[in-house]
Amino acid sequence: MIPNDYSDVTQQVSTGSLPAKTRVEELLQDAYERYVDVDDGMLAYYIPILGEVDPSLFALSLSNVGGTVQGVGDVGQSFSIQSISKMFVYALVLQELGHDTVRDHVGVNNTGMSFNSVMAIELNDGHPMNPMVNAGALATSALMPGLTAAEKWENIREGLSAFAGRYLRMDGEVYRSESRSNERNKALGRLLKAHGQLEGEPLEIVDIYTRQCSLKVTSHDLAIMGATLADGGVNPVTGERVVSADVCRDVLAVVAANGLYEKSGEWLFEIGIPAKSGVSGGIVAIAPGKGAIGAFSPLLDEAGNSVRSQLAIGHLSRALGLNLFASAPQRPEKET
């Protein structure tokens, strides 16, 4: 068991700051221009309506923890949040139920398998493993406070809206398209239920989850939502406290380990910041204490992560000094 009781030690923070606004603008523009012509990857055809999206869309936004939001490209284009919702619902559930309860119910470790793997559940005694894969996200949404499915859903919508700082609406077409084609998620829900690992009625939970995935956002929204987690839980634009600083720390650790599914280790090695992807092409990457990048471009790699969004965030992480593992010696090296 990894120790986790440090309640008598005050949590200190590791912070830094982003370059000035004009420099950030130049770097966003540079990242956009470098990758705007990349057309590798595939649309998410398994949700029919996502197979009809314009693959050339590309947007990059950055929000710092002071609430300044900058962007380049199709920043006004909305798209469904998809799996990125998992990170924010997890934050809301952690806030309500606490670190230990949610860790015990949902887990934190990587599956090493695809986001909708049945095998991952079976290989782990029916456990959902972590909240960023579909099984764990179903288990997490089931824990959302609310006496009825409708109440749970409204609490999720309200909570995600507080992260964005504006009322988020569902994309009805995406919801209906996914509802007609999500047999696999229904199977995951039933399998978890059979293992005693899901609270409530599986099909109701799958419906709540499908709704949360259909919420419409822009790259600006993603940047602000991410920056709320970078800012100790306070939305930097509205000033509203959405979750506690402890919740942000826990969420970002889980996202670092699992946010890009079976590619999470590789991502952390190359890019060095927690990031969460969704199959409509969004990725949000968070630099604790600094801010967050929201990227959108619909063509995906084989793990379901946007190709251009990964490239652009990788570039920005380096150019803006976001990698959490990067350091330079404080004193000059000794002459030998």
Binding to ligand DON by residue 116, rule CB under 6 A?
yes
- Sheet containing 59-64: give its strands across: 69-73, 59-64, 291-296, 282-287, 275-277
CA–CA gap between residue 64 and residue 239 (Å, rounded): 13
Among 279, 285, 292, 312, binds ligand DON (CB under 6 A): 279
Among 278, 291, 294, 298, binds ligand DON (CB under 6 A): 278
Decide: 222 and 69 in contact? Cβ < 8 Å.
no
Residue with tokens 């499908």: 210
Among 218, 258, 277, 297, binds ligand DON (CB under 6 A): 277
User: Applying CB under 6 A, which part among 122-130, 245-253, 274-282, 319-327 lies near ligand DON?
Assistant: 274-282
Among 90, 115, 163, 267, binds ligand DON (CB under 6 A): 115
Q: What's the min distance (Å) between Cβ of 116 and ligand DON?
A: 6
Tokens of 268: 């952390």
Tokens of 193: 């239920």
Tokens of 332: 């000059």
* Strand 79-80 with 216-217, pairing: antiparallel
Hey, which residues between 169 and 188 contact ligand DON (CB under 6 A)?
178, 185
Considering only the C-alpha atoms of the chain, give the largest distance between any 2 of them, rounded to a whole number of Å: 70
Tokens of 311: 């490239």
- Closer of 215 and 237 to ligand DON (Cβ): 215
Residue nearest to ligand DON as judged by C-beta position = 83
Binding-residue pattern over the window 65 to 104 for ligand DON, x denoting contact by CB under 6 A: -----------------xx---------------------
- Closer of 24 and 208 to ligand DON (Cβ): 208
| Residue 215, CA atoms < 13 Å, CB-side half-sphere | 27
* Rounded to 5°, angle at Cα 84 from 229 and 157: 80
Active-site residue (options: 61, 63, 80, 83)? 83
- Closer of 189 and 200 to ligand DON (Cβ): 189
User: Applying CB under 6 A, which part among 246-254, 277-285, 286-294, 308-316 lies near ligand DON?
Assistant: 277-285
Q: What backbone torsions phi and psi does residue 234 show, to the nearest 5 degrees?
A: -100, 125
Q: Amino acid letter at 336?
A: T
Binding to ligand DON by residue 304, rule CB under 6 A?
yes
**Using DSSP, how many helices (H) and how many strands (E) does the chain show?**
13, 7
Q: What's the min distance (Å) between Cβ of 199 and ligand DON?
A: 19
Helical (H) or strand (E) element with 184:
helix 183-194
Give yes or no: 279 in active site.
yes
Active-site residue (options: 261, 264, 284, 306)? 261
Binding to ligand DON by residue 189, rule CB under 6 A?
no
Decide: 290 and 230 in contact? Cβ < 8 Å.
yes
Give yes or no: 317 in active site.
no
Active-site residue (options: 90, 206, 209, 217)? 209
Decide: 158 and 144 in contact? Cβ < 8 Å.
no
CA–CA gap between residue 162 and residue 321 (Å, rounded): 28
Hey, which residues between 224 and 263 contact ligand DON (CB under 6 A)?
none
Give yes or no: 36 in active site.
no
Give yes or no: 214 in active site.
no
* Strand 69-73 with 282-287, pairing: unpaired
Q: What's the min distance (Å) between Cβ of 282 and ligand DON?
A: 8
- Closer of 140 and 305 to ligand DON (Cβ): 305
Catalytic sites, residue numbers = 83, 86, 209, 261, 279
| Contact set with ligand DON (CB under 6 A) | 82-83, 115-116, 134, 178, 185, 213, 277-279, 304-305
